[in-house]
Amino acid sequence: MVPRRPCDPPASARQADSASKSARAQDASRDLLTAGPRVSFARVAREADVSTWFVYNNPTVKAVIRDAMSDQAQHGMEAAAVPRPERATPASVHTDLALAREEIQELKRECGTLKRRVQLALGAEIDNVAQADLVNRIQDLEHQNQALARDLTEARIRAEGLAKQREESEETIASLRLAPRKSMRAGP
């Protein structure tokens, strides 16, 4: 025996559900037989609101449906009356053709109008997107330009400072070169 899980419905509930489905399917089969439409497994399942698997795999329901199908085959089914088509005259065919041609021309004009409207709308949409993208790109370039201008100013200030340091260093080196000469001349 398979252990029952807490989420499984009790066996009595499953049996009651199966009995209810079986009764609905049998009633649907009998109703279809008396009403006249062709009885089939799929139609009975649809009418009884059960699955086709159920009607094929429930032996009682399957037997009832097979009996109903054989009864229909033996007694014959009444076919639905099909209206006879009226005979068309050449003049009516020409009139229909002319009307169809006019309708086709009207539809072509309407299609062309709609195509132009869609093209204009898409063009405007693309233009709006392009303008927005260009505005964003210009703003980005302006920010980059400002950042580069600040960097250039800072670089010039550093270059001027380094140039002053170089001049001071050159003066210091020149004075250091002169110092040993002075000391040699002043010597003993």
Instruction: Report the pLDDT value the prediction gives residue 81, as an integer from 0 to 100.
Output: 40
Note whether residue 85 is domain-resident.
no
Is pLDDT above 90 for 80?
no
Instruction: Report the pLDDT value the prediction gives residue 90, as an integer from 0 to 100.
Output: 85
Is pLDDT above 70 for 160?
yes
Note whether residue 165 is domain-resident.
no
Confidence label for 5 from pLDDT (cuts 50, 70 and 90): low
Check: CB of residue 38 under 8 Å from CB of residue 70. no
Confidence label for 74 from pLDDT (cuts 50, 70 and 90): confident
d(CA 16, CA 4): 18
The 8-class DSSP code of residue 59 comes to H
Note whether residue 33 is domain-resident.
yes
Q: What is the pTM of this model?
A: 0.38
Residue-number span of the structural domain to which 37 is assigned: 17-75
Instruction: Report the pLDDT value the prediction gives residue 136, as an integer from 0 to 100.
Output: 87
Supply the mean pLDDT for the chain.
Answer: 84
Instruction: Report the pLDDT value the prediction gives residue 79, as an integer from 0 to 100.
Output: 38
Note whether residue 4 is domain-resident.
no
Reading the block at residue 29, the tokens are 């089969």
